[in-house]
Amino acid sequence: MFEKLVQTIMNEHRGKALGIMLGFVASILFVSYGFWPTIFIVLCIFVGYQVGKKLDENVDLEEWLKNLFNFKK
Do 62 and 48 share a structural domain?
A: yes
* Residue 41: pLDDT band with limits 50, 70, 90: very high
Pair (18, 49) in one structural domain: no
Q: Is the same domain home to 54 and 28?
A: no
The confidence score (pLDDT) of residue 32 equals 94
In this structure, are 27 and 55 located in the same domain? Answer: no
Write out the residue range of the structural domain in which residue 69 sits: 35-73
Closest CA to 42 of 29, 56, 55: 29
Model confidence at 39: pLDDT above 80: yes
**Structural domain tally of the chain?**
2
pLDDT digits 0-9 by tens, 4-37 = 888 888 888 888 888 888 899 999 999 999 999 9
CA–CA distances in Å: residue 58 to residues 18, 42, 62, 67, 69: 28, 24, 12, 16, 19
Measured CA angle at 32 (ends 40, 50), to 5 deg: 30
Q: Are residues 16 and 6 in the same domain?
A: yes
Are residues 41 and 29 part of one domain? no
Given a cut of 60, whether residue 73 has pLDDT beyond it is: no
| pLDDT category of residue 71 using cuts at 50, 70 and 90 | low
